[in-house]
Each structure stands twice: as structure tokens, then as C-alpha cells.
Amino acid sequence: MTAGEEMHALVERLYPLCRSITGDGVRRTLEIVSEYLPLETFEVPTGTEVFDWTVPQEWNIRDAYIADASGRRVVDFRESNLHVVGYSTPVDARMTLEQLRPHLHTLPEQPSLVPYRTSYYSPSWGFCLAQEALDRLPDGEYDVRIDSTVDDGQLTYAEHVVPGQVTDEVIVSCHTCHPSLANDNLAGIAVAAFLARELKNPWYTYRFLFMPGTIGAITWLSRNAERIDKVKHGLVLACAGDSGQLTYKKSRRGDAEIDRVLQYVLRGRTHEVVEFSPYGYDERQFCSPGFNLGVGSLSRTPYARYPEYHTSGDNPAFVLPEAMEDTLAVCRDAFAVLDRNRRYLNLSPYGEPQLGKRGLYDSLGGRSDAKQAQLAMLWVLNLADGEHSLLDVAERSGLPFDSVAGAAHALHRAELIKE
């Protein structure tokens, strides 16, 4: 089974769970992810102040339906958790269709799809259904039931840390708050989990964050504000599995190292780079002016730009194993560059040092890329002035980053350059 197929299997397994910004669906999601990599789970009590926000009450739901006079469920939570507006308060009533209509949400322009709706911070209730299903409902009375609770509880998030050679951190964030939305939510979780499993003895310490959108990131930032200076780079993963081209959204800084690395890695691929805006996923929290972290966002088709977005059309069939594998490959390549991107100082800067007497030319003998490797050494030596990074060298020379990094390693070992 390929990595893409394994990630898709994880998406299919997580898909039926009813997630929200709090609750047992989030906990169960994290339990399943923890079968793939160890997680440390955190619970933050309702009422905890996190900057300008307060951790909300916890929502859980067991069942919900609208039943006609015969008892047949015409809208059934058991068929799809999208049928209930997230955070709906409990309901047990009989009402006419006209009384019920203000609580029904459809997509008239996409009549076969069920929309995704929430009501996190203003108590209410509702159902979502396809417009064509609503059109089939006859007038009459219906039994309406939402068996839910909104009580004091916890907000749940989890971390997985891959220790590095230094304590400076790269954060990778994905959101766990959406119910059955395969691309918007679950593909990012799957890519993050498999990326974390691949990292072995990296330079940076990598912290993977699995948490609800907005309130989760704000909570994490609040609880980690004193050590936030450890975070040097970051990436938010979302919409990671559809068939569209890759899209990178820059950090608020616009010229952060992660911005340059992603743009470099995406060269040669069909892709789009977009400027930062304070709307989207949790890059807007990490990039808020009080933190202004170098955190960008990687997706395929961005939020709200594909018809299936926030609808029942965003199901496992919409997510492609090969697309997730491609997203994973870009993340892998980007972090390989980020991990090795250093600045060096030439220890023999007066004229070109003699490479032959140090065995550096001999080490290239027989290599098919000997000329490229030799050129990479000369470029590294020339730009090893303490100001230019290896990424600068690769961009200016047009040489592959791997060749430049390999040359730097050889020159460092020969004591011709130092970090």
C-alpha cells in the first residue's frame, strides 16, 4: 500500500466522526491519530481566558432527526453528521413544516448537497439538508429531536514533538474541528501525521499541532506565549487532498524563510503563490501582529474555491491518494531545505582556495554530476560571507539545493567554511 493509499484509509476511518471545536468526536479523532504516532493530549477547561477569548462550553451529540407522521426519519443524523448544525442546543418538539423552516439550511444553487453550518458562540439549533430533499417534504407535522448537551467541559488539542538537534522549532498545524469534511479537514490531519512519522533526527525540533480552528490556535498561543520565541518557522496544512494544483499562502511577513523555501520547492510544479490575508485558517492567528510568526499555509485548492467546500460533496471520494502523496512530498522537500539552510563564512576568502590538495576534486572522480558538484563548491565558497544562506546560493546559481548543501558539507568537513 502506498503512503497515499494509507493516508486515504485514515481519512475514510475518521470521516464518520462528528467533530466540532470541543467534544468526544475530537477526542476519538485524536485517539485514532495516536495509533499512527504518539500524541500528548491537553484539556483546557471551559471558562479559561485565552487572550480576548474564553474557552467555550463543550458540545456533544448522540442523535438527531426530523420524523414525519409515520415515524420515518426524513432527516437523520445517523446518515450524516452534517445534517445537524454544529453546537445545536437540545430540542424535543412537534412542529409544522412552516414552523420548522427557519431552522432548515440548504444550498438552493447546489440542490443535491447538504451544507455544513455551525453556531458555536450564539445558542441556537438547526438542521441541514439537500434542497431537493426539502422540496419533497409535504406540509404537516414533524417530530423534531436533537439529543445534545452543551455543558461546562474541556477544549481538547494534541501535540507530537519530533526532537531536533536544536531547540528552535518548526510548527506544523492542522485543524480537527470539522465533522465529515474529507478535504477541508481530514486530508490535512493525514498528511501531518505521515509527515511527522517520516522525520528522523532533524535539525529543528518539529512540533505538530492537532487542534480546533481559531479557538484552538488562540488557546495554544496563549498557553505557550512565554516560549513563542522558540518558533522560527511554521506551516498550516488544509485542503490537502483534492485534485487541484498546490497553493502556498505567504506569511504576514511575506519574506519569511518558510515563504522563500516553499516558493523554491514549488518551482517546476504547477502551483500558485498568494499573498497573506487575515482570513483563512490558523495562519492568521500565528501571524497576528503580536506574534508575527513566519508561518505560511499550504493547500491544494484553497478554501471556498471548490464547489464541494463545506458541503457533503467533500467526502472521501473527493480526496485522492495521489494528491495527498504529492502534498506530503512537497512538505518533505520543503523541510529538507529548511533543515539544511545555513549561512557560512569562508575561512580562505582571499582568492579561490586550492581544492585539489584537500582531496575535494578527487572525491568527485567518477561521479556523473562531478561538474555540477565542483560548480556548487565554487558558488558556496564565493557566497560564504555570513550574509548569504545556502538557499541564496541555490537561487542565484540555479543549481539544485541538494548539490549546494552537499558542497557545503564537503567544504565544512575540509575546514574551508564554518557556520
Q: What is the pLDDT of residue 359?
A: 81
What domain range includes position 201? 3-56+154-339
**Looking at the predicted structure, is the pLDDT value of residue 370 above 80?**
no
The position carrying cell 565558497 is: 381
| End-of-domain residue from the set 298, 317, 339 | 339
Sign of CA dihedral 273, 277, 281, 284: positive
**Looking at the predicted structure, is the pLDDT value of residue 100 above 70?**
yes
User: For residue 106, what are the β-bridge partners?
Assistant: none
Q: What single-letter amino acid sits at 244?
A: G
Do 364 and 282 fall into the same domain? no
DSSP letters for 276-307? --S-SSTHHHHTSTTT---EEEEESSPTTSST
Number of domains within the chain: 3
Helix (H) or strand (E) holding 325: helix 321-340
Do 237 and 325 fall into the same domain? yes
Band the pLDDT of 183: cuts 50, 70, 90. very high
User: For residue 64, what are the β-bridge partners?
Assistant: 146
pLDDT tens digits, 59-75? 999 999 999 999 999 99
Q: Among candidates 276, 307, 308, which has minimal Cα distance to 289?
A: 276
pLDDT tens digits, 188-241? 999 999 999 999 999 999 999 999 999 999 999 999 999 999 999 999 999 999
Sign of CA dihedral 273, 274, 279, 283: positive
Do 208 and 351 fall into the same domain? no
pLDDT tens digits, 313-340? 999 999 999 999 999 999 999 999 999 9
Band the pLDDT of 374: cuts 50, 70, 90. confident
Q: What is the pLDDT of residue 257?
A: 98
Q: What is the pLDDT of residue 372?
A: 87
Q: Which three cell numbers stand for residue 211?
A: 487542534
Do 63 and 52 fall into the same domain? no
**Binding site annotation covers 178?**
yes
Do 22 and 130 fall into the same domain? no
Do 299 and 260 fall into the same domain? yes
Do 115 and 33 fall into the same domain? no
Vertex 178 angle, CA 250 and 293, to 5°: 25
CATH code: domain of residue 205: 3.40.630.10
Taking the C-alpha atoms of residue 373 and residue 239, their distance in angstroms, rounded to an integer, is 38
Do 254 and 335 fall into the same domain? yes
CATH code: domain of residue 71: 3.50.30.90
Do 277 and 291 fall into the same domain? yes
Do 159 and 102 fall into the same domain? no
pLDDT tens digits, 115-160? 999 999 999 999 999 999 999 999 999 999 999 999 999 999 999 9
- Max Cα distance, the chain (Å): 94
**Binding site annotation covers 184?**
yes
Rounded (10°) angle between helices 3-14 and 188-198: 130
User: For residue 105, what are the β-bridge partners?
Assistant: 128
CB 318 within 8 A of CB 121: no
**Binding site annotation covers 160?**
no
Taking the C-alpha atoms of residue 221 and residue 242, their distance in angstroms, rounded to an integer, is 30
Do 403 and 268 fall into the same domain? no
| End-of-domain residue from the set 151, 171, 192 | 151
Q: 249: which residues sit within 8 A by CB, 6+ positions away?
A: 273, 274, 275, 276, 277, 280, 283, 296, 297, 298, 299, 302
| End-of-domain residue from the set 122, 151, 180 | 151
CATH code: domain of residue 388: 1.10.10.10
Q: What is the pLDDT of residue 172?
A: 98
* Cα distances (Å, whole numbers) of residue 377 to 271, 336, 382: 31, 20, 9
DSSP letters for 238-270? -S-SSSSPEEEEPPSSSS-HHHHHHHHHHTTS-
What are the start-end ranges of the H helices in 49-205?
97-100, 131-135, 188-198
Do 141 and 162 fall into the same domain? no
Vertex 150 angle, CA 147 and 152, to 5°: 145
